[in-house]
Structure 1
Amino acid sequence: MSSGFEEVFQTADFGEFEAGLSRQLGSHRSHLHGGGDAFFASCRSARVGDLQLLLLRGRRKLELERTQLEWGLLWIPVRGSSEERINGRLVQAEPGQALLFRPGDHLLGRTDKEMAGLSVLLPASLFAEAGAPEDAARSRRRRIPQALLDPRRPADGCLIQAARRLAQAAARRDPAAANAAAALLDQLTDTLPNLAGSISGRRAWSMPARKRWELVVEASRWMEAHLQESFRVVDLAAALQIPARTLQWAFAQELGRAPFAHARLLRLHALRRLLQEARRRQEAMPIAAQMAACGLPACGETARTYRALFGELPSQTLMG
């Protein structure tokens, strides 16, 4: 894994900006809108696993046109609104909201005078089941979410927060960045209904309660056997030979949480057992090593999550 944001360009030259942006996002056409203030733009990039992150800043209104090709893109404005006509449909995102573009989407957008935000480039494979963007009727049947993500909708808010946590971890070169990337991909799988395999609503909702619970128990046992490993919901679903959406639905119905959240809870409980056993045996095993043994990143965020769950820090559990 390579993380940490590195400068791609920082320029007052519009031609240099266009060339740099094309290298990152693919071919596009853009031109300056209005006059007055001098033009300025910058881009910093980081890669975590399969995800590329771009921090973009700009001054001066722009109009841009491009077609998403090899990947999808999640855009989270931090300063200034973003107005986009996506496949002919006009949407506008304010800071705090986000826009989700799929491969094949045609974009015609305009930025504010001052602009800053985060772009996350997403593998096209995530959208393999999402259908062609121009097929509006098919999109409605598949319940593909609108391009505009609003944090007032819980699933949208979780997705936006997952992207921000990933950017923060990448900027700090935090070992938790890989976990944050997996969390974002799992949240995408949860937000886009048909990403990880097709399943009809009738088939999902007709699953007997006993079968649903057996599925959750089997999945939990698999998680406990693989706590040290980095896995995603799609990996677990493949191991159990079921669609990921079926698995997510079963966990939501039986436990009220997503599989990824349940795996984190299992890891935290495993860490507590290791710490208590180390205290009983008076062993001097470093806490970071015990976190790693449970598949948890050795960082302050893990300690804070542990304290929120158990009322004490890992070090306090170890010391008694």
Structure 2
Amino acid sequence: MGPTGLVSVVMPVFDPHEPWLRAAVASVLGQRSCAVELVVVDDGCDEPIADTLTGIDDERLRVVRVAHGGVSAARDAGLAASRGRWVRYTDADDVLEAGSTARLLRLSVAAGGAIAYGATVFCDENLRPVWTMRCRLGGRVARACLLGRFTVRLQALLFPREIAERAGGWFGGLRVSEDWDFVLRALELADVRGERQPAVYYRRHPAGLTSHPEAGIDDVRLVVERYLDRHPEMRGTSLERRSDAMVHALGARIAATRGDRGAAGRHLGAAMLGDPRAIFGELRRSAPALRARLSAAPAGE
């Protein structure tokens, strides 16, 4: 057994694909060398999740059913119902690496209560690895996160409970960036420590992607504005200009993906004026996934 102390894993669920849900649940209950509890939040599913998970007899699993309020409200409900000194968040289609929670717990304890993280393995629908996203940053990284340089998924993070609570509730006014908003607020409160071993296998599939790409740009703008509202002294500084350039770099990538060359060019020009490094950052973050897609494509495509 590793460091003592209960880790609560919070999993919001809304009308899931049952085999993926069961795999996600099994991955949490199969965590090695640490004490975990799993709080599954049934976000008003048509079929109660307690019925869906019939046959899983494990006292560490609790299902909390709430009225449908979205993923942010479900995560708040899960944290409120949890009892652990540390908290992880995962989704109903992802799989936690079996030894990851114990390793992240050791990192957090050794660093005096830091937020700990590992690598994210992006997978296809069948959980076949496509590429691995790692990060090298440590210490105080909130500003790097604001600029899109803290490349860590929510599911690869372990939070001390105190930090998760002090960060405040999940913000429900976002369509696709609620994870980033919460993580950014948590990073303003604590150091981080990371490792390069996989923490989560992140399943990518059409149902998990927004059908409105523009929502990503709108959300990013709102997350940046919320950060600047918390730190008004940063308005008018190079950080604001660089964050605006980062938004435009993201807009250029989304527009290019949609084939809108005019919008891509406008975003690209604005990003270059604000901070050319934002463009290089987007290219660097996109390159591994692009290489993976190209290598996986049949010959002649």
Interval of TM-score (by shorter of Structure 1 and Structure 2): under 0.3
Larger radius of gyration: 1
Structure number with the bigger relative contact order (C-alpha 8 A, sep ≥ 6) is: 2
The structure in which a higher percent of residues are strand is 1
